[in-house]
Chain A
Amino acid sequence: MELEHSFTVPVPLERAWEVLLDVERVAPCMPGATLDSVEGDDIAGRIKVKVGPITMTYTGTAKFTEKDVAARAMTLEASGKETRGAGTASATVRSELTAADDQTHVRVRTTLNVTGKPAQFGRGVMTEVGGKLIGIFADNLAAMLVAEPAASQAATPDARLESNEVRPDIGAADEALPIDVLNLGSRAWSSLRRDGIQTLGDLTRRTSAQLLAIENIGPASVAEIKSKLADRGLSLAGTSGSHRPSGSTAKAAAESGPASLRPVHEANGDRPGKHAADDVAPVTPLRPPSTAPADSATGQHGQVASTADREPAAWQPQDDAVDLLGVAGLPVLKRALPAAAGLIAAIVVVFGLRRRRARRS
Chain B
Amino acid sequence: MTATTEAPVAELGRARLRKEDAKLITGQTRWTDNIRQPGMLQIAFLRSPYAHAKITKVDVSAARQQPGVIAAFSGADFAAEQGSLPCAWPVTPDIVIPAHPPMAVDEVRYVGEAVAVVVARDRYEAADALASIDVEYEPLPPVLDIRTALNADSPKVHDAGNKSYEWVFANGDVDTAFRDAPVVLERNYRQQRLIPCAMEPRAVVASWIGEELTVWSATQIPHVLRFALSAFFGIPEQDVRVIAPDVGGGFGSKLQVTAEEVLAVLVSRKVGKPVKWTETRSEGNMTVHHGRDQWQNIKIAADRDGRIRGLSVDLLADMGAYLMLVTPGVPLLGAFMFPAIYKMDAYSFKCTGIFTTKMPTDAYRGAGRPEATYAIERIMDELAVELGIEPLELRERNWIKHEEFPFTTIAGLTYDSGNYEAATAKAKELFDYDALRREQAERNARGDKVRLGIGISTFTEMCGLAPSRVLGSLSYGAGGWEHASIRMLPTGKVEVVTGSSAHGQGHETAWSQIVSDQLGVPFEDIRVLHGDTQVSPKGMDTYGSRSLAVGGLALVGACDKVIAKAKVVAAALLEASADDLEWSAGRFSVRGDPEASKSIQEIALATFAAHNLPDGVEPSLDSDHTYDPDNFSFPHGTHLCATEVDTETGFVTIRSYVAVDDVGVVVNPLIVEGQVHGGIAQGVAQALYEEGIYDDSGNLVTTTLADYLVPSAADLPSFKTERTTTPASNRLGVKGVGEAGTIASTPAVVNAIVDALRPFGVNDVTMPCTPERVWRAIQAATGNGGAA
Determine how close the nearest CB of chain B comes to the CB of A280; give it in whole angstroms: 16
Contact A120:B700 (CB < 8 A) given known A84-B131, A85-B46, A355-B134: yes
Q: Which 5 A-B pairs have the closest CB atoms?
A: A122-B707, A115-B49, A85-B131, A358-B131, A116-B49
Binds A, one of B261-269, B289-297, B691-699, B776-784: B691-699
B703, A85: Cβ atoms closer than 8 Å = no
User: Helix, strand, loop or mixed for chain A's interface?
Assistant: loop
Q: Which of A83, A84, A121, A355 contacts B701 (CB 8 A)?
A: A121
B132, A358: Cβ atoms closer than 8 Å = yes
Q: Which of B50, B137, B703 contacts A120 (CB 8 A)?
A: B703
Contact A355:B111 (CB < 8 A) given known A85-B46, A85-B130: no
B62 at the interface (CB under 8 A from A): yes
A-B contact pairs, 7 of them (CB 8 A): A85-B130, A88-B50, A114-B699, A116-B699, A119-B695, A121-B701, A123-B707
A87 at the interface (CB under 8 A from B): yes
Q: How far is the CA of A114 from the CA of B696 in the complex (A)?
A: 11
A198 at the interface (CB under 8 A from B): no
Q: How far is the CA of A115 from the CA of B51 in the complex (A)?
A: 9
Determine how close the nearest CB of chain A comes to the CB of B104; give it in whole angstroms: 15
Contacts of B128 in A (CB 8 A): 358
A357 at the interface (CB under 8 A from B): yes
Interface, chain A (partner B; CB < 8 A): 83-85, 87-88, 90, 113-116, 119-123, 355, 357-358, 360
Q: Which of B50, B62, B139 contacts A355 (CB 8 A)?
A: B62
Contact A122:B693 (CB < 8 A) given known A87-B49, A115-B111, A116-B49: yes
B703, A88: Cβ atoms closer than 8 Å = no
User: Helix, strand, loop or mixed for chain B's interface?
Assistant: loop
Contacts of A85 in B (CB 8 A): 46, 130-133
Contacts of B706 in A (CB 8 A): 121-123
Determine how close the nearest CB of chain A comes to the CB of B52; give it in whole angstroms: 11
Q: Which of B62, B130, B707 contacts A357 (CB 8 A)?
A: B62
Determine how close the nearest CB of chain B comes to the CB of A112; give it in whole angstroms: 10
Contacts of B704 in A (CB 8 A): 120-121
Contacts of A90 in B (CB 8 A): 139
Q: How far is the CA of A270 from the CA of B66 in the complex (A)?
A: 22
Contacts of B133 in A (CB 8 A): 85
A85 closest partner in B (C-beta): B131
Q: How far is the CA of A90 from the CA of B137 in the complex (A)?
A: 12
B282, A120: Cβ atoms closer than 8 Å = yes
Contact A357:B132 (CB < 8 A) given known A115-B49, A115-B50, A120-B282: yes
Given contacts A122-B701, A355-B134, 12 further A-B contacts (CB under 8 A): A87-B49, A88-B137, A114-B699, A115-B50, A116-B49, A120-B111, A120-B286, A120-B699, A120-B701, A120-B703, A357-B132, A360-B67
B638 at the interface (CB under 8 A from A): no
A358 closest partner in B (C-beta): B131
Determine how close the nearest CB of chain B comes to the CB of A151; give it in whole angstroms: 40
B702 at the interface (CB under 8 A from A): yes
Q: C-beta contact mask, B97-134 vs A, less than 8 Å → 1, else 0?
A: 00000000000000100000000000000001011111
Interface, chain B (partner A; CB < 8 A): 46, 49-50, 62, 66-67, 111, 128, 130-134, 137, 139, 282, 286, 693, 695, 697, 699-704, 706-707
B697, A113: Cβ atoms closer than 8 Å = yes
Contacts of A120 in B (CB 8 A): 111, 282, 286, 699-701, 703-704
Determine how close the nearest CB of chain B comes to the CB of A80; give it in whole angstroms: 12
Determine how close the nearest CB of chain B comes to the CB of A351; give it in whole angstroms: 14
Q: How far is the CA of A358 from the CA of B131 in the complex (A)?
A: 6
A120 closest partner in B (C-beta): B703
Contacts of A123 in B (CB 8 A): 706-707
Q: How far is the CA of A90 from the CA of B49 in the complex (A)?
A: 12
Q: How far is the CA of A57 from the CA of B3 in the complex (A)?
A: 75
Contacts of B49 in A (CB 8 A): 87-88, 115-116, 119
Contacts of B66 in A (CB 8 A): 358
Q: How far is the CA of A155 from the CA of B169 in the complex (A)?
A: 75
A84 closest partner in B (C-beta): B131
B131, A115: Cβ atoms closer than 8 Å = no
Contacts of B46 in A (CB 8 A): 85
Q: How far is the CA of A113 from the CA of B697 in the complex (A)?
A: 7
B127 closest partner in A (C-beta): A85
B130 closest partner in A (C-beta): A85
B62, A121: Cβ atoms closer than 8 Å = no
Contacts of A119 in B (CB 8 A): 49, 695, 697, 699, 701
Contacts of A116 in B (CB 8 A): 49, 699
A115 closest partner in B (C-beta): B49
- Among A83, A87, A88, A122: residue with most chain B CB under 10 A: A122
- Among B132, B703, B707: residue with most chain A CB under 10 A: B132
B132, A115: Cβ atoms closer than 8 Å = no
Determine how close the nearest CB of chain A comes to the CB of B191; give it in whole angstroms: 20
Q: How far is the CA of A355 from the CA of B697 in the complex (A)?
A: 25
Q: How far is the CA of A119 from the CA of B699 in the complex (A)?
A: 6
Determine how close the nearest CB of chain A comes to the CB of B208; give it in whole angstroms: 30
Contacts of B695 in A (CB 8 A): 119
Q: How far is the CA of A87 from the CA of B699 in the complex (A)?
A: 11
A357 closest partner in B (C-beta): B132
